[in-house]
Amino acid sequence: MTIDAHSHYMPPQVAQNTAFFKQFWSDADGQLRLMDEHHVSQAVLLYPTSDAHINMGGWGNVCAVYNQAISDLVKQYPQRFIGAGIIPVDSPDQISGELNRIEDLGLKVISLASSYNGVYLDDELFFQVYEFARNTNMPIHVHPQIMNPIGEDRVRDPLLSPVLEYVFDMSMCIGKMMMGGVFLKYPEVNFIFAHYGGVLPIVKERFDTTYAMLRQRNFVKDLTKLPGEYLKNMYFDMSGSKSAATLMLALEMTDCSRILWGSDFPANRNFAASLGAASSAILSTEERRLVCGGNFSRLLENNCK
């Protein structure tokens, strides 16, 4: 069974309050047609991060509409879609209640952004989310922030921002969580990071060698183990990547039991190419099964226990 671990659906009532996510971002029928064409059994519906909270009077209003709409779509197609819910990050006292509502609505994943106005996921604001995820075995998916990502104060460009700043924000998020002790405090929580964690497959070795050098001079705190050891225990989705070479880099950072195929629909509609990368000759038949659905199925099974 092939599972798409990274796709998007924007309910029309939310999409109309965004600058970018209109038209085909609300095309569930088109997504189902592509899934059928490429034999994709299920798809996880994630929040792409947007400016809707600005135009809808805050995150609480977005959560109320978005989470309900995703739940309704999942109930309409229970064998095809897996829902992920969002939280009201601007109202900390309402987060716990919304997390319970996410569970009551039948959503199986928590959808977070890599940062919120420069606040990364190492902030204590999110500890209640991690406690909930630990208690329910609900995976947490982290998507790049597109609103004010790292570097946008210096460069704002319609191409450079999504290509560079979004993925750098993702990598900084993981680094901040590691340095902030989140992975040490919540080892049981299953974090899924989009786009292979940004540039981490490239800088993993530098992380380890620089950390070891700085520890010798006591310039950095003791993380109890090398940064690369933390990276091995995270999940990373492919986010529509069509490159077998990028997959090979990721496999130097972790192993195939931690890689999830994801299309990044509707931003990427070329399912054949991204599935081709996930099914490349560098993987055995069993490894392909894990990447293309087996790993995410295991996460869902843990969630149901």
Q: What is the pLDDT of residues 51-106, one digit of tens each?
A: 999 999 999 999 999 999 999 999 999 999 999 999 999 999 999 999 999 999 99
**3-state SS track over 182-208:** HHHHCCCCCEEECHHHCCHHHHHHHHH
Q: What is the pLDDT of residues 228-264, one digit of tens each?
A: 999 999 999 999 999 999 999 999 999 999 999 999 9
Q: Which residues pair with 45 in a beta bridge?
A: 7, 83
From CA 126, how far away is CA 114, in angstroms rounded? 12
Residue 196: band (very low, low, confident or very high) from pLDDT cuts 50, 70, 90: very high
Q: What number is the average pLDDT over the span 276-292?
A: 92
Whether the predicted pLDDT of 303 surpasses 80: no
From CA 176, how far away is CA 21, in angstroms rounded? 29
Whether the predicted pLDDT of 305 surpasses 80: no
CB 213 within 8 A of CB 238: no
Q: Which residues pair with 236 in a beta bridge?
A: 193, 259
Looking at residue 51, what is its pLDDT? 95
Instruction: Please give the torsion angle defined by the CA atoms of residues 208, 214, 216 and 219, in that order, rounded to the nearest 10 degrees.
Output: -140
H and E: helices and strands count for the chain? 15, 10
Q: How far apart are the first and last CA of the chain?
A: 21
From CA 257, how far away is CA 244, in angstroms rounded? 16
List the structure tokens of 28: 């569930």
Give the C-alpha distances (Å, rounded to integers) separating 52 from 13, 41, 167.
10, 30, 21
From CA 97, how far away is CA 99, in angstroms rounded? 5
Give the chain's mean pLDDT. 96
CB 197 within 8 A of CB 170: yes
List the structure tokens of 60: 């609480």
Instruction: Please give the torsion angle defined by the CA atoms of residues 130, 132, 138 and 144, in that order, rounded to the nearest 10 degrees.
Output: -40
Looking at residue 302, what is its pLDDT? 77
**Nearest Cα to 130, choosing from 54, 176, 186, 88?**
186
Whether the predicted pLDDT of 224 surpasses 70: yes
Could you give the domains of the chain?
3-304 (3.20.20.140)
List the structure tokens of 243: 């490159």
From CA 167, how far away is CA 150, in angstroms rounded? 9
- DSSP one-letter code for 181: T
Phi/psi of residue 180, each to 5°? -85, 0
Half-sphere exposure of 203 (CA within 13 A, CB side): 15
Whether the predicted pLDDT of 183 surpasses 60: yes
Say what the pTM is.
Answer: 0.97
